[in-house]
Amino acid sequence: MEKNIAVIRGDGIGPEIVREALLVLDKICDIYGHKFNYTEVKMGGCAIDEFGEPLPDSELSKCIASDSVLLGAVGGSKWDTVPGHLRPEKGLLKLRSGMGVYSNNRPAKIWPQLASASPLKTEIVEKGIDFIIVRELIGGIYFGKHETYDENGEKKAVDELVYRESEIERIGRIGFETAQKRNKKLCSVEKSNVLDSSRLWKDVMHRIAADYPDVELTDMLVDNCAMQIVKDPSQFDVIVTENMFGDILSDEASQITGSIGMIPSSSLGATSCGLYEPIHGSAPDIAGKDLANPIGTILSAAMMLRFSFDMVEEADAIEKAVSKTLDKGYRTQDIKTKGATDLIRVGCREMGQLIIDNIK
């Protein structure tokens, strides 16, 4: 099978972690007889440096024309002083909107080998951490109107949060369908005691619930959800929520699994062309030092094979290789438990090679 993959290395540690993921994909090609064609795309700070904007239309077109997109990370302090509409992160928003990927799916699953790396108490971790956050990705406050102006002698900033019924329904159905494939429990997270947009969210979720009688739907306010994720994460199966809430909760969820460097994500829309990326940032403080954890990016590549290319066996092979590598005690700095003498610290490149060597 031949597939075209747009590759966005990005900024900071992005080029390092993407390099390892591509080498893993190359190994999959060797074993299974596939051919992946890579098209380089510049987005983020590196695009600002070259083109003067975070994602030119010409670069976006490469992504839309591909079968899928693999992204490292964008941003960094180097571009903190550029105007707001030219920040590296604006390229990511443009990419998501341009591709029409409205559903961001972030698993929060603790690998058994990393149980001791979780900041939670042992008795909480032992109950299990295995849920997924389905986040609406191209609506809400991130895509509303943003303005800052003078009023009565002081600065005033306004950010607009807008949701339409159709936007809520389409992400809600993704949440229900995801729950049907798991343990049939869906928690809808909002702030309906304060926000009109959340009250509409809750109304729509309960309306469409009638179409999924096999799924148990519960409601939870976002502040309570943030507490429950650290108090008893085992209660969750699938969480569906709006853009900003999902952004915050998924980062919290990643930390209880031991390291944000382990968590992949997929962003999907109406077509099979998806956007796959680790959920961590560009970490410019460790860029170029061979300290980054490439596993989140490698697992994102596995998600791409599974969800966009229907290569289930190949995705399984990558995930098993990651597990086997962890079983042997290899750890990057972010997942090496302090005081553990039986673990072997490795860098980004060595971790990638170890996983490649374990793909069968």
Pair 304, 266: CB distance under 8 Å: yes
Greater pLDDT, 222 or 83 = 222
pLDDT at 358 over 90: yes
**pLDDT at position 339:** 58
295-320 confidence digits (pLDDT tens): 999 999 999 999 999 999 999 999 99
Q: Catalytic annotation on 67?
A: no
- Can 1-107+259-360 and 119-256 be said to share one CATH topology? yes
Catalytic, 251? Answer: yes
Fold of 119-256: Isopropylmalate Dehydrogenase (3.40.718)
* Residue of 67, 237, 247, 334 marked active site: 247
Return the pLDDT at 341: 66
CATH number of 1-107+259-360: 3.40.718.10
pTM of this prediction? 0.86
pLDDT of residue 335: 86
Lowest-confidence pick of 115-119, 134-138, 213-217, 326-330: 115-119
Residue 284 has pLDDT above 80, yes or no: yes
* Tokens representing residue 360 in the block: 């069968």
With vertex at residue 16, the alpha carbon angle to CA 11 and CA 18, rounded to the nearest 5 degrees, is 85
Domain boundaries, the chain: 1-107+259-360, 119-256
The active-site residue, picked from 102, 142, 163, 276, is 142
The residue annotated as part of the active site, out of 109, 184, 191, 324, is: 191
Q: With 0-12 CB in 10 A as exposed, 13-18 as middle and 19+ as buried, what is 84?
A: exposed
Q: What is the pLDDT of residue 179?
A: 95
In the chain, alpha helices (H): 14-32, 45-51, 57-64, 88-99, 122-125, 165-180, 196-208, 222-231, 243-256, 295-307, 312-327, 348-357
Catalytic residue among 223, 232, 316, 327: 223
The amino acid at residue 317 is A
pLDDT digits (tens, 9 = 90+) for 254-283: 889 988 889 999 999 988 899 999 989 999
pLDDT at position 338 is: 63
**CA gap 138, 99 in Å, rounded:** 10
What would the mean pLDDT of 100-110 be, rounded to a whole number?
94
80 given a catalytic annotation: no
Q: What is the pLDDT of residues 52-100, one digit of tens each?
A: 999 999 999 999 999 999 999 999 999 988 888 889 999 999 999 999 9
Catalytic residue check, 26: no
Task: Compute CA distances 213 → 66, 168, 206, 217, whole Å.
Answer: 37, 19, 11, 9
Rounded Cα distance, 250 and 280, in Å:
10
Asked if 247 is an active-site residue, the reply is yes
Burial 143-166 (b: 16+ CB within 10 A, else e): beeeeeeeeeeeeeeeeebebeee
According to DSSP, the residues that pair with 159 across neighbouring strands are 146
Least confident of 4-13, 133-142, 252-261, 283-292: 252-261
Q: Report, in this order, helix, strand and coil percent for the chain, each rounded to 5.
A: 50, 20, 30
Q: Indicate which residue of 251, 290, 320, 324 is catalytic.
A: 251
pLDDT over threshold 70, residue 340: no
The average pLDDT across 44-58 equals: 97
pLDDT the model gives residue 236: 98
